[in-house]
Amino acid sequence: MGQGGGSPAQPLHGLTVIEIGHSVAGPYVGQVCADLGATVIKVENPRGGDDARSWGPPFWENSSAVFQTLNRNKFSVALDLKSVEDCATLAGLAGQADVVIQNMRPGLVEALEIGADTLRALNPALIYCNLGAFGNVGPLRNHTGYDPLVQAFSGIMSVTGEAGRPPVRVGPSIIDMGSGLWCVVGILAALVRRAQTGEGCTVDTSLYETGVAWMNIPLANSMASGRDAGRSGSETPMLVPYRAFHASDRYLVIAAGNDNLFRRLCEVVGRPEWATDDRFRTNAERVANRSELNALIEAEIGTRTADAWTDALSAVGVPCAPLQSATEVIAHPQTDALGMLQPTPDGTMQLVASPLRFDGERPQVRWAAPALGADNDRVPDLVAAKATRTTEGASR
């Protein structure tokens, strides 16, 4: 396993990862590994590369902003996987690699003879990660899938949005990126096992498995109650008050999740009697009288600005936060203080950083996403020069 490369923020330094990935899910696995210091070789079709390169506007440096943020700190090798020679090149790379990630359509890597069984036979220490749509067993195993399809099919859309209105998807690609994170968890666990046994492993997950896993609480509630949860907007079904209320200028989320916090909320809004009202004394009673209580709170919150309520509620420890837009998040001093936006070395772009720190040090954006096939001539170096990997890209 990696020895850190002299930097605590690059704990995967020394590992070689082959990413046969496209769109969001597979590249997100590679992005996390690359941010953590692994050498990630992105294998792309020479005819246009990853589809996400063209997912714009907006564009940065001739690639979409989506592609740039998912593919920084990587190397690009263009290989035609319909070519026997190029598949042999890929097999050669995998023979010296630590990890292979793939999110190709079902059955394709096996048909091309670059699947887990083939490549692990060449390299028994290899960790091979399959990221599918619906998993490799069951009636839907050969179906393709995308984030919004699986948000619908896993039930996430059934609990997202407001009752009586059309379904909506969660804005960020939580299925794609969540599946990517489960891949990283599986890969890291397999690396620990390999360090103990010397043996590689095949790691499998899918978009659908991730969607079902994210639905763990709604599914548990449905199994316990025998009823569908339904959509509840910004609200949490089991807690009241726990939702967005409209202040005089914008929305404010208030999460008074227990009786003590509710009592403090009542005092701040000038309605201490609510805390002893038989309809609202306990959370169970507040849930039963949800609509009535929410209307009372909304009327009070609407009398002042979100900032004024945030100051007053925070002063007594009631959790709350105003709804921020993307541009407000970018400009907020907390975002800046954490260093969550990092410029590329040439200063042309600013990307969202990894949400991890190691001994206080955050993984850095070392270089922007590569041009298609930019590293074809460097393939031998990429798999051989492990000792110098932390300095790779300084001249990119």
Residues in Cβ contact with 320 at an 8 Å cutoff, skipping those fewer than 6 apart: 252, 253, 254, 255, 309, 310, 313, 314
Give the closest residue to 266 by CA, choosing from 258, 256, 274.
Answer: 274
Residue 115 to residue 327: CA distance in whole angstroms:
43
Q: Which is the catalytic residue, given 176, 278, 336, 375?
A: 176
**DSSP-derived pairing of the beta strands 16-20 and 39-44:** parallel
pLDDT < 70 positions in the chain? 1-6, 383-396
Phi, psi values for residue 205, rounded to 5° = -150, 180
pLDDT of residue 393: 44
Query: Each residue of 22-81: pLDDT tens digit?
Result: 999 999 999 999 999 999 999 999 999 999 999 999 999 889 999 999 999 999 999 999
Cα-Cα-Cα-Cα torsion 298, 299, 302, 303, nearest 10 degrees, comes to -150
End-to-end alpha-carbon separation of the chain, Å? 26
Give the closest residue to 250 by CA, choosing from 183, 178, 307, 186.
Answer: 307
Dump the DSSP string for 47-88.
TT-SGGGG--SSEETTEEHHHHHHSTT-EEEE--TTSHHHHH
Q: Is 176 a catalytic residue?
A: yes
pLDDT of residue 149: 97
Place of tokens 């063209």: 54
The answer to whether 186 and 32 have CB atoms below 8 angstroms apart is no
Amino acid identity, position 102:
Q
Answer positive or negative: Cα dihedral of 7, 8, 14, 15. Answer: negative
Rg of the chain, C-alpha, whole Å: 25
pLDDT of residue 305: 98
Q: What three-state secondary structure class fits 94?
A: helix
Residue 385 to residue 396: CA distance in whole angstroms:
17
Going from the N-terminus, what domains does the chain have, and what CATH number goes with each? 16-214+336-391 (3.40.50.10540), 242-246+251-322 (3.30.1540.10)
pLDDT of residue 379: 76
Cis upstream peptide for 57 (omega within 30°): yes
Q: What pairs with residue 130 in β-bridges? A: 102, 204
Residue 356 to residue 362: CA distance in whole angstroms:
6
Q: What pairs with residue 64 in β-bridges? A: 59
**Beta-carbon-side half-sphere exposure of residue 29 (alpha carbons within 13 Å):** 35
pLDDT of residue 237: 87
CB atoms within 10 A of CB 380: 11
**Beta-carbon-side half-sphere exposure of residue 212 (alpha carbons within 13 Å):** 8
CB atoms within 10 A of CB 273: 9
pLDDT of residue 7: 87
